[in-house]
Amino acid sequence: QSALTQPASVSGSPGQSITISCTATSSDVGIYNLVSWYQQHPGKAPKLMIYEGSKRPSGVSNRFYGSKSGNTASLTISGLQAEDEADYYCFSYAGDRVFGGGTKLTVL
């Protein structure tokens, strides 16, 4: 089964930009770009922020941007706000469906 590796934590100050990476052990991510990103606040269900690598569902701020390079997908959040502080998970659904380990974003 493929695996997705994320950094355990990232941080940034309000107004800054941060990027969270998600590296796949298989080539599925690179070939099919079927990666999504979720935001999860404590005690809440995850919220879909990005799908198909770079598409935003209706209602998601354009401060959230998804991209891909080779087998690594990335989520960039620009203009950091206090409410962006949360856990973020990538999810690959090209072959096996698997989540990354999650990244805790701290807004300083």
Partner 1 sequence: QVQLQESGPGLVKPSETLALTCTVSGYSITSGYFWAWIRQPPGKGLEWIGNIYHSGSTYYNPSLKSRVTISVDTSKNQFSLNLSSVTAADTAVYYCAKEGGRYSPPGTWGQGTLVTVSP
Q: Which residues bind partner 1 (CB under 8 A)?
A: 1, 32, 34, 36, 38, 45-48, 51, 57, 89, 91, 93-94, 96-102
Q: Which residues pair with 91 in a beta bridge?
A: 36, 99
Q: How far is the CB of 97 from partner 1 (least distance, A)?
A: 5
Q: Which is nearer to partner 1, 12 or 66 (CB)?
A: 66
Q: Which is nearer to partner 1, 12 or 102 (CB)?
A: 102
- Strand ranges, E, within 30-108: 35-40, 47-50, 64-69, 72-77, 86-92, 98-99, 103-107
Q: How far is the CB of 40 from partner 1 (least distance, A)?
A: 8
Q: Which is nearer to partner 1, 17 or 55 (CB)?
A: 55
Q: Which is nearer to partner 1, 32 or 64 (CB)?
A: 32
In this structure, what token pair is assigned to residue 68?
Answer: 């891909």
33: alpha, beta or left? (left if phi > 0; alpha if psi -120 to 50) = left
| Dist. CA 41–CA 34, nearest whole Å | 24
Q: How far is the CB of 74 from partner 1 (least distance, A)?
A: 17
